[in-house]
Amino acid sequence: MKQLLSFCLLYLVLPLHAALTLPPFFSDHMVLQRDKPITIWGETTPDTPITISLDRQTQTIQSGATGHWKAILPAQPAGGPYTLTIKIPESTRTIEDIYLGDVWVFSGQSNMQVSFDYYLTLPNLPESWRQHFQTTLDTCGREQHVRHYMVATRDRNGQTIRNQAENRWYGNQGEFVRHCNPIAWHFAREVAHKTGVTTAAVRIAWGGQYIERFYNGADIYNYMLKPWGDFPIRGVIWYQGENNLHKDGDRLAYALKLQLLIRDYRRLWHDPQLPFYIVQLPPARYSEQPFNDENSLPLFLEAQRQVLALPHTAMANTSDLGMTNGLHQYQKYDLAIRLANIAFANSYGFTDAIPAGPQFNSFRIEADKIRVEFETFGSTLTTRDGQPPAFFEIMSAGKNQPFLPAQARIEGNSVLLWNESVSKPYDVRFAFREQDLMQVNLTNTENIPAATFWARATNQLHPGLKSE
């Protein structure tokens, strides 16, 4: 009886000794960030020796008193495919087809979450766009160095897995790619093609959510973002704001809110210089919503622009990529190209990349005129229709003065503005009505429109936070 009891106890204990738990993203086909120390971690029984091997790097450690363990392997250049093995005395875990490359996180709300499949199943999608999305899926099999991971939505109430592609790495398989976000997929493909490096898009997004839910301490942060904190990445692409724009009083306050978010993301990934690239909200009929008017969207876009005062940030202009009958614009490829060019210019050092359309730099008063200087990122100012720039307004100094339309003339990388009724100009703004945004004719030579702005004697309406 004693021998039988001892055997039964041993039988019960063995599975506990053999337990080895890893985060779900440590799995086949994953991409690890090149040129940064590689952190591998998990759980097992306390005080257990663990040997981790990747390519020619091997490290032996021991789990702590709670069973948690973490190994940090030296940084490695791009390459692969490799195999990762994790050994404990009773078992070995093998993870295959691993590449060292670049990992980009795509975060925000629905425009960063919706998939190719979403568009292909829209009943009113124009046939030309249906063919465009389908052609992408038909050709994805040629993309050997593009990988994806889509984090399933999870909050304090649990996790919702919507399709077979969530919570797993995948590459060029069409049945998985159809569930991928088009912005993320096209961006990763463009970067992989131009750099020759395997590029991964990790989607951590949830439709219909306020920015506050992504903050440190909030549920999306805790359950979807925080698990990735020790997984090095190359940068973040952020597309969010539709919900906050609808919230009365949130428009200019969004400048500070987004700076708080950037601080949280940079702390999470232990990188105060983590690139953070923002999608400026494309035009839509926001003015038809409660609490909104024709200036609500431009005010919100101005708040997004002000965030560029933080270092290692950039913004994709999108005033020509909007639509009047919804928020999920079809032009995801065009947006992805603009974001990729931002990355090429700022993260990869490609001098031939034009990262954005013209953006406000500064202005000065010249007698009864205002001269607005633009940052053109190596391009030049022009108009797409050959006419003078439209939708500039200036204001006289003094109390309760109205904005008046300004005549405009391009001079190099600046625009000179005047109005015969304004003898002492003070404020200037551009494309500051919702209906004007999609009609902006001021562009660079690459036909990317100038971004809306509102500037006064001090350039920023919010001082914001200092970079850490």
Residues of the chain below pLDDT 70: 1-18, 248-249, 457-468
152, 161 Cβ separation under 8 angstroms: yes
Cα angle at 226 between 224 and 230, to 5 degrees? 125
* Residue-level pLDDT at 248: 65
Rounded to whole angstroms, the Cα distance separating 466 from 468 reads 6
* Residue-level pLDDT at 180: 95
List, in order, residues 6 or more apart from 56 with CB less than 8 Å away. Answer: none
Dihedral, CA of residue 355, residue 234, residue 140 and residue 114, to nearest 10: -80
* Residue-level pLDDT at 462: 42
DSSP string for 37-72 = -EEEEEEESTT-EEEEEETTEEEEEE--TTSEEEEE
* Residue-level pLDDT at 10: 39
Cβ atoms < 10 Å from Cβ of 97: 16
For residue 387 the two structure tokens come to 């006419």
CA distances from 261 to 83, 210, 281, 307 (A): 35, 12, 17, 11
Rounded to whole angstroms, the Cα distance separating 410 from 422 reads 19
* Residue-level pLDDT at 398: 86
250, 291 Cβ separation under 8 angstroms: no
* Residue-level pLDDT at 456: 76
* Residue-level pLDDT at 111: 95
* Residue-level pLDDT at 135: 93
287, 245 Cβ separation under 8 angstroms: no
**Tell me, what amino acid is at 205?**
A
